[in-house]
Every structure is written in C-alpha cells, then in structure tokens.
Amino acid sequence: MYITDSIKYIGANDKTIDLFEGQYKVPNGVSYNSYLILDDKIAIMDTVDTRATDEWLANLDRELAGKTPDYLVVSHMEPDHAANIKKAADKYPSMKIVGNAKTFPMMAQFFDLDLSDRKIVVAEGETLSLGKHTLQFFMAPMVHWPEVMVTYEQTEKVLFSADGFGKFGSLDCDEPWDDEARRYFINIVGKYGVQVQALLKKAATLDIAMICPLHGPVLKEDLGHYIGLYDTWSSYRPEEKGVLVAYASIYGNTRKAAELLAEDLKAAGEKNVCVMDLCRCDLAEAIASAFRYDRLALACATYDGGMYLPMEDYLHHLKAKNFQKRKVGLIENGSWGPLAAKKMREVLESMKEITFCDTVVTVRSAVHSDNEAALKALAEELAE
C-alpha cells in the first residue's frame, strides 16, 4: 500500500484469525498496521501481532534496504501492536524506543528487556525531529489503554492515530468503512467516549491530511466523514433515525411478537427497522446496532424467574459499553410469571438518559389478539 514517498506501510493482513481479542468475529480478518518513516533518522511506528511477525520483519527489511532504524515509536502496548518490541529491540541494538511515562512500566511487564540507555520518554506536545519530518506526540489515555498516545507528523500532516479510526477487516477486503469501523469502535473503545472526545479536541487543533490507524485502511480523503462519525459515536448520539428490534426467544413466540412489532413500526411509517435475533446473531453487531439507531425495542422471554440469558448478556454488554440516551420499548413473555420486562427495565434504568415507552407488552405464552393491539400501541409510541 502506497502512503507517501517517505512513509512506508510495513504491516500485515491476518485473514486466518477466528476471533480478534479472543471475542470478536472477523469474517474478513483484520490488519495490524505498522509504518516506517524514512528520513535522516528512521522511525518505525509500532510493531504487529505475533501472528504476523515474519511478514512484518520481511516488510521492514525490504523497506529499510540495509539501513538501520533509529527509533521505534510505541503508541500502544496491546499485544496486537506491541508483540514484536523485544524482537525489534534485540535485532537493532542501537535503536531507541520512544514511549511515554506510562508506556515503559507496561513494557517491562510484557518483556524482559533492558532499556536503561535506550528509552526516550516523551510528554504531551513534545517533538522528535527525524530530519525533514518532525513527530509530535499527544497523549490519548484510554483510547484504548492508559498508555496510548498518537503521533502527528508535522511536515506531511499525518496523524498516526493508534487504535483510533481503526476497523476490522483486512486491507484488501471490499467492504464499506462505516459498518466494520462502528462494530470495532463501539465494542472496543465504546466505553471511553469522554476520552475519545478529549482526543478529538486535540486533533481539531491539527491540520490533518491523512490518518494512519493501527487497523484498517489509511484515510486520505473525506476525513470530515470519519471524524464526524467518531464525534457521534463517542458522544453517544444516535447515528441515524431507526429502531432496532432485538429479541431473545426460546420457542418462537417471543420472536413472533418482535416480528409483529417490526411490521407495526413499518405500518406506522418507520422506514428504518432492523430486527436481530440475540440467540443467533453476532453479539458485537447487535451492540453496535443499538448505538447506531435512536430507538431500541427489546423482546424477551422470562426464564428462571428473570431474563432469558441471551438478553441478560446483551444488556450486560450494552451497559459495559456505556449505552445511553435512547428511547426503549419493552416486550416480555412468560407462561406463568412474566418478569422479563421488569428485569430488563432494572438494568436499563442503571444507564444514563434512557426513556421508556409507556406501553409494555406482556405475552402469555403465545401472541393473542390483545397482544396485537398492545404491539400496535407500542409501535405508535416508538414510531416518529
């Protein structure tokens, strides 16, 4: 991948990984991005996961063409980027390692590495000249770990954004940026909206021509689109008007209620209705979709005196990702003691700025005519 004449891509695609972070399905793989800046001094911008070590070292050798790197800049200590720090440090004993005050204690936890005369500790706004290029460092704590920093290269106006503006999917897969970037952001960084907002404020002071993230494509055009989405996601504003109907059904009767609600929503004029089966869909996609739309309807069977567990799991994840500022409608089912709506509401009330529809639909085993009327009423409350 061409970046600029002096900034080279040395990262790798991983198309065989089953679960990123051990939990997220990545049907189109993921990329571990790493960059090399060639100047009077040469800087490596992060390493890659152990799954891509050989390819990364080969790319590094090719672009170095016999030269020796002067610096390794460490933006983030998570092993998908930092796993090869020791290998690179051992291979290039004269190379200095650049990080911040929080980077090196973490590095010592991961690696047995003597860096006493090799580390350069940078602080907010400090610079490092490579010759024509100047690196300026900005701390980005909790985007997505505490030691994260981003680097702005002043001459070519490139922001090396760490996990920020990253996306699932290998670099050669043909898919829209927004969907897999949303699934990545909400699930991995979603909890840290305040910290992302702080980073966006810093970024707003910079003249950025290009964003080089640690995952996904380098962004060279229409940067306002990507920055705008990050502003929306990190401030927990809905991305678009629409209703996600998410259901957890044991035998199909709760599903039937959810599907009827979806039909009623459409009949009430709602154009954007998305229905997801929490027992079978990708949970990370369902979480991202809840953040995407401005309204959420939940339909859940009662199970062991509480929520059917796929719904409990879903709400647990939504809370962990700081879900907030949405209107919610509830449907419950129960053959003897329907309690799912009460239990769902208890969890949702622990989140910020959740408003509830007045209508709560209670299905007793199977959908009957009185439920149909209640579902229509709920749809009318939810529809805009």
Which DSSP letter does residue 366 get? Answer: B
Q: Which is nearer to ligand FEO, 38 or 52 (CB)?
A: 52
CB of 76 to ligand FEO, least distance (A): 6
Nearest to 348 by CA among 307, 303, 304, 301: 307
Q: Which is nearer to ligand FEO, 182 or 215 (CB)?
A: 215
In single-letter form, the type of residue at position 115 comes to L
| Helix boundaries (H) for 185-236 | 193-203, 223-234
List interacting residues with ligand FEO (CB under 6 A): 76, 78, 80-81, 144, 163, 214-215
CB of 64 to ligand FEO, least distance (A): 24
Q: Which is nearer to ligand FEO, 147 or 285 (CB)?
A: 147
CA atoms within 13 A on the CB side of 200: 19
CB of 163 to ligand FEO, least distance (A): 4
Question: How many C-beta atoms lie closer than 10 Å to residue 128's C-beta?
Answer: 19
- Residues of 168-202 as b/e, b for ≥16 C-beta within 10 angstroms? bbbbebeeebebbbbbbbbbbbbbbbebbebbbeb
Q: Which is nearer to ligand FEO, 56 or 247 (CB)?
A: 56
CB of 211 to ligand FEO, least distance (A): 15
Q: Which is nearer to ligand FEO, 187 or 362 (CB)?
A: 187
CB of 85 to ligand FEO, least distance (A): 14
Separation CA 363–CA 270 (nearest Å)? 23
Answer for the pair 332, 344: CB distance below 8 angstroms, yes or no. yes
